[in-house]
């Protein structure tokens, strides 16, 4: 069994200063997918992660202190691919893939769209282009685990006060429609395979009281292709971890 953790750290250097390494030692994931590292290679205390047994593979945005993804794994990947072959998104360091045998783990940081206008358009373009990228990849790699910050609440139970959020980026009808289409394309929401309860969130606004009162959103996922559905052993949201405005989400896979 392999434990995979996905975590939008909202700045890996900030998260490290809040005890991220101790947390990883306790939870002991085999593979960690980080989003929003906001750092360049060599700025992430890689040697400290290596001391814990991790191989470190990073893909940073061209703009310093912005976006960025990484896959740190205790298993040595057979292949690591940075980007999805589209400069429009690759310049922002949004996708990295690592192959382990016949399974590919993809760490993705979807655009947020919260500023509206141009960035919401960019987000919708990304959704379409990312799905096309995965479709092409699946011709040769059937078993995908697509982990990361999707910046979309998939279901009504995945957001606090859904009635009032329908005009908010992250819960727009067209975003949820994309997600429904994505699932029907052959993907399984690993967490919802295990847990059907409401009020299970992975991100909270920094506004006063949002996190203590659990007024959150579930926007971090491990989506797996249907070929891996029966390999999901466990999934969870580790809301006690407070290195970021997100918390880590995990999935235990039998591969």
Tell me the C-alpha distance between 195 and 66, whole Å: 33
**One of 78, 102, 149, 220 is an active-site residue; which one?**
149
CA 182, 185, 190, 193 dihedral sign is positive
Partner residues linked to 157 by β-bridges? none
List Cα–Cα distances, 87 to 82, 95, 96, 155, in angstroms: 11, 11, 13, 31
Regarding beta strands 2-8 and 31-35, do their DSSP bridges make them parallel or antiparallel, or are they unpaired? parallel
Closest CA relative to residue 95, chosen from 54, 120, 132: 132
Identify whether the C-beta of residue 14 lies closer than 8 Å to the C-beta of residue 7: no
Contacts of 172-178 with CB under 8 Å at 24 or more apart are 174/124, 175/123, 175/124, 175/127, 176/152, 178/124, 178/127, 178/128, 178/131, 178/152
Partner residues linked to 40 by β-bridges? none
CA 4, 129, 42, 203 dihedral sign is negative
Neighbour count for residue 63 (Cβ, 10 Å): 12
| Active-site residue flag, 149 | yes
Identify whether the C-beta of residue 46 lies closer than 8 Å to the C-beta of residue 12: no
Active-site residues, by number, are 149
């Amino acid at each position: 069994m392999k434990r995979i953790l996905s975590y939008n750290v909202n700045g890996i250097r900030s998260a490290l200063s809040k005890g991220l390494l101790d947390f990883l030692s306790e939870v002991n994931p085999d593979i960690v997918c980080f989003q929003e590292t906001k750092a360049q290679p060599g700025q992430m205390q890689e040697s400290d992660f290596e001391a814990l047994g991790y191989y470190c593979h990073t893909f940073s945005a061209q703009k310093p202190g912005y976006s960025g993804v990484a896959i740190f794994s205790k298993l040595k990947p057979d292949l690591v691919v940075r980007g999805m072959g589209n400069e429009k998104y690759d310049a922002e360091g949004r996708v990295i893939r690592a192959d382990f045998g016949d399974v590919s783990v993809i760490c993705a940081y979807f655009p947020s769209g919260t500023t509206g206008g141009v960035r919401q358009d960019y987000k919708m373009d990304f959704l379409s282009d990312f799905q096309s990228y995965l479709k092409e990849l699946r011709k040769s790699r059937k078993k995908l685990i697509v982990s990361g910050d999707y910046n979309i609440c998939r279901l009504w139970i995945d957001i606090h006060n859904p009635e009032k959020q329908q005009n908010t980026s992250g819960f727009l009808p067209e975003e949820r429609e994309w997600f429904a289409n994505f699932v029907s394309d052959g993907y399984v929401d690993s967490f919802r395979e295990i847990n059907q309860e409401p009020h299970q969130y992975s991100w909270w606004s920094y506004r006063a009281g949002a996190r203590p009162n659990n007024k959150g959103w579930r926007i971090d996922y491990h989506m797996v292709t249907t070929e891996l559905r029966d390999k999901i052993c466990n999934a969870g949201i580790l809301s006690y971890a407070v290195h970021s405005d997100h918390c880590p989400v995990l999935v235990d896979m039998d591969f």
